[in-house]
């Protein structure tokens, strides 16, 4: 039995946001400045998803260690850049 599998290469978060929700781009650019290019690329641009609703932000990380680092090192910056009170970061 042959299994047909389809996979799509991972697209960086900034590219997906540009197409799906461009209103989030200014906050992402501000966060990139605060975090620095290397940290932003590693922890933010690799997110599986990013959604904002009112003063709530949901981030889905592909790795638990990245989730932990975002929570411990960057949570205040994330809240400030996205102008939210509540941030939930989960890992896949």
In tens, the pLDDT along 79-92 reads 999 999 999 999 98
What is the extent of the structural domain holding 51? 13-91
**Number of domains composing the chain:** 1
Q: Give the CATH number, domain containing residue 71.
A: 3.30.300.180
Domain for residue 8, yes or no?
A: no
Question: Does residue 73 come out as left (phi exceeding 0), alpha (psi in the -120 to 50 range) or beta?
Answer: alpha
Report pLDDT for 1: 61
In tens, the pLDDT along 14-37 reads 999 999 999 999 999 999 999 999
Six token digits for residue 26: 């200014």
CB 45 within 8 A of CB 37: no
- Return d(Cα 47, Cα 20) in angstroms, integer: 14
Q: Measuring CA to CA, which residue among 86, 88, 85, 79 is closest to residue 27? A: 79
User: pTM above the 0.85 mark?
Assistant: yes
Report pLDDT for 54: 96
Domain for residue 5, yes or no?
A: no
In tens, the pLDDT along 32-48 reads 999 999 999 999 999 99
């Amino acid at each position: 039995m042959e299994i047909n599998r389809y996979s799509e290469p991972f697209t960086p978060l900034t590219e997906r946001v540009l197409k799906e929700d461009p209103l989030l781009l200014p906050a992402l650019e501000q966060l990139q400045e605060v975090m620095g290019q290397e940290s932003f690329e590693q922890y933010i641009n690799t997110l599986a998803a990013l959604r904002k609703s009112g003063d709530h932000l949901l981030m889905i990380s592909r790795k638990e260690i990245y989730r932990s680092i975002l929570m411990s090192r960057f949570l205040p910056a994330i809240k400030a850049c996205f102008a939210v009170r509540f941030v939930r970061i989960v890992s896949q």
